[in-house]
Amino acid sequence: MSSKQVQKVLIVANWGKEEAHSLSATIKSYIEEKGIECTIWRTTVEQDKPIVAEDTDLVICLGGDGTVLYCARHLQTLGIPILAINLGTFGYITEISVNEWKEAVDRFLEGSYTLSRRLMIRVGVYRKGERVFTAHGLNEIVVSSSGISKVIGMSLKVGETPAGYFRADGMIIATPTGSTAYSLAAGGPILDAELSTLLITPICPFTLSNRPLVLSGDSLITLTIAPNQRTGIVLSVDGQQNFPLQEGDELIVEKSRSRTLLVTSEKRNYIEVLREKLNWAGGAAHA
């Protein structure tokens, strides 16, 4: 909740989606009629960094879950609430559908909104003791083969404790938000989005006893790429940032210092989103 007067709004529009063109202009006009400064950032490339004016009070994100991941990454140090509007129906992260944008914007401007503070993940890649790559994500980091599906070997450490050597098609380390993405497809559990936890999910592990592992959000996870790999290996963050790995590389994974602030929908909560997206039977039981 907030009673702060909103003065600046930025619309981040996925310009690859035709509907974003007209809707961004409509929302801009609506906000400017209320005497609030509003600009549009049109994005087509995930690596483009949006220009965010100082003292921006709200970012309205038009697109799908991928556009939210883009916003989360680029805004992660700024602490600006993101109001995500899905141009389809609604996504796992974008709870607000396109026909609900006006009331969602009004609620924010009136200060009668709720924020979901989502844990983010941070990864650093160390090569011969030197950090060669750093990235932040809202969903997950994935280590996998860059060749045709081949098993890779890596060792895992949680804190100072060795947690084993894994042979698998890859490894996913996800946030609760990311538990409904790639990790879910790989057999991981669904976590409540508000939790402060990290989730390790092996992808098609060679040993069937390798199971998903839910850890405290304060855990420090180290993944080391073993020698003698038979394939190239790549690190992917939220499916949007990729970095080629080498044998001996050490990945340090932990929660980010900052969180993504998502304006929640008044129409549906996280469980309702899961029920709809995963086709769970809803409603009262019939006799």
Distance, in Å, from the CA atom of 154 to the CA atom of 249, rounded to the nearest integer, reads 10
- Determine contact, residues 155/226, Cβ cutoff 8 Å: yes
Residue 3: its pLDDT value, please? 47
Residue 148: its pLDDT value, please? 76
Tell me the per-residue pLDDT of 249-262, one tens digit each, with 9 for 90 and over.
999 999 999 999 99
Residue 1: its pLDDT value, please? 43
Distance, in Å, from the CA atom of 114 to the CA atom of 117, rounded to the nearest integer, reads 10
For the beta carbon of residue 46, count every other beta carbon within 10 angstroms.
15
* Confidence band of 90 (pLDDT split at 50, 70, 90): low
List the structure tokens of 79: 């602490």
Asked if the model's pLDDT at residue 274 lies above 60, the reply is yes
Phi, psi of 45 (to 5 degrees): -115, 130
* Confidence band of 55 (pLDDT split at 50, 70, 90): very high
The residues, any chain, with a CB within 8 Å of residue 211's CB and separated by 6 or more, are 202
Tell me the per-residue pLDDT of 179-224, one tens digit each, with 9 for 90 and over.
999 999 999 999 999 999 999 999 999 887 789 999 999 999 999 9
Distance, in Å, from the CA atom of 38 to the CA atom of 86, rounded to the nearest integer, reads 19
Residue with more model confidence, 271 or 4: 271
Catalytically active residues, by annotation? 65
Distance, in Å, from the CA atom of 252 to the CA atom of 74, rounded to the nearest integer, reads 21
CATH numbers and ranges of domains, the chain: 8-114+264-277 (3.40.50.10330), 120-257 (2.60.200.30)
Percent of the chain at pLDDT exceeding 90? 77
Torsion of CA 141, 147, 149, 150, to 10 degrees: -90
The residues, any chain, with a CB within 8 Å of residue 144's CB and separated by 6 or more, are 152, 169, 170, 171, 203, 233, 234, 236
List the structure tokens of 104: 């969602």
Asked if the model's pLDDT at residue 283 lies above 60, the reply is no
Residue 221: its pLDDT value, please? 98
- Determine contact, residues 114/267, Cβ cutoff 8 Å: no
